[in-house]
């Protein structure tokens, strides 16, 4: 996507990520060699950003393969934001479209989890909901309450074991999958300084999804009980608090 640059700048920027593009006319009479060096530095810089943003995918693919893939990606997808922690939002879909990676279908969702961890880390600092706020409410009032999600909260559901794969690749060892490819759902939060990941079972997934969608606590609990008859609301409320997934609570009958 081209930004609103002056015409000369558009030509300058358009060739930066395309090594086969000719040196822009405005540069030819000045310093074409410097432009070539700068073009290479831009590509390498974006590749380094990809390495920093997707370390697990890099470990799973191996440094050499990832480097070649990252180069192809950055040449096709220039940054849309000056904030490099946003860079790579199209990478999960890019991985899923790669013919050579058809046998590694889990990579797209692993990349989505890495991206969400990064985004959650950079979200606004907001104090999570305190346990006292729930304790002070009568039961009827509590079940009619609506919770506001913390800005760092996200839920990812995958048909692959993304939590197991992600956690298995936090060391410096070679990329591992551990055979954990069964479906897993992950709650991503940042209750204080660090991002935390928690596995959700099917009922908890339903419960948290309903809450983040604006349903009342009672409605969310009822939906979760339909998924799993022995849904443990007490345990899930504890998870809700310890995870820092929400920032405030109010009655559904009142404005937030």
Residue 74 parent element (H or E)? helix 63-76
**pLDDT: which is higher, 253 or 193:** 193
Q: DSSP class of residue 172?
A: S
Instruction: Quote the crossing angle between the two packed helices 202-212 and 217-227, to the nearest 10°.
Output: 150
Task: Tell me if residue 230 falls in helix, strand or coil.
Answer: coil
The answer to whether the CB of 153 falls within 8 A of the CB of 200 is no
Residue 26's pLDDT band, with cuts at 50, 70 and 90, is low
What per-residue confidence (pLDDT) applies to 163? 94
The pTM assigned to this predicted structure is: 0.83
- Phi (first) and psi of residue 213, to 5 degrees: -85, -5
CA separation for the pair 149, 128 (Å, rounded):
9
What is the percentage of the chain residues whose pLDDT exceeds 90?
64
Dihedral of the alpha carbons of 246, 85, 82, 96, in degrees to the nearest 10? -110
Which range has the worst mean pLDDT, 62-71, 141-150, 162-171, 230-239? 162-171
CA separation for the pair 105, 137 (Å, rounded):
46
Domain residues of the chain, as ranges? 1-104, 123-256
Instruction: Quote the crossing angle between the two packed helices 233-243 and 202-212, to the nearest 10°.
Output: 60
CA separation for the pair 89, 119 (Å, rounded):
10
Residue 6's pLDDT band, with cuts at 50, 70 and 90, is very low
Which range has the worst mean pLDDT, 42-46, 57-61, 233-237? 42-46
Residue whose structure tokens are 């809700």: 240
Residue 18's pLDDT band, with cuts at 50, 70 and 90, is low
């Amino acid at each position: 996507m081209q930004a609103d640059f002056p015409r000369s700048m558009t030509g300058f920027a358009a060739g930066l990520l395309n090594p086969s593009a000719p040196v822009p006319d405005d540069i030819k009479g000045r310093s074409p060699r410097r432009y070539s060096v700068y073009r290479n530095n831009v590509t390498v810089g974006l590749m380094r950003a990809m390495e920093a943003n997707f370390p697990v995918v890099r470990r799973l693919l191996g440094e050499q393969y990832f480097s070649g893939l990252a180069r192809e990606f950055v040449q096709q997808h220039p940054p849309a934001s000056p904030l490099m922690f946003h860079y790579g939002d199209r990478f999960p879909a890019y991985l899923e479209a790669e013919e050579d990676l058809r046998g590694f279908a889990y990579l797209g969702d692993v990349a989505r989890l890495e991206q969400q961890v990064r985004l959650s880390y950079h979200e606004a600092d907001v104090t999570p909901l305190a346990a006292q706020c729930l304790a002070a409410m009568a039961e009827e009032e509590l079940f009619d309450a609506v919770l506001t999600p913390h800005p760092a909260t996200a839920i990812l559901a995958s048909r692959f074991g993304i939590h197991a794969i992600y956690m298995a690749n936090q060391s410096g060892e070679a990329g591992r999958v551990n055979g954990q490819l069964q479906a897993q759902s992950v709650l991503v939060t940042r209750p204080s300084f660090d991002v935390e990941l928690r596995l959700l079972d099917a009922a908890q997934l339903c419960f948290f999804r309903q809450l983040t969608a604006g349903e009342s606590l009672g409605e969310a609990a009822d939906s979760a009980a339909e998924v799993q008859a022995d849904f443990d609301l007490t345990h899930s409320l504890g998870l809700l608090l310890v995870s820092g997934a929400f920032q405030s609570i109010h009655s559904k009958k009142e404005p937030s």
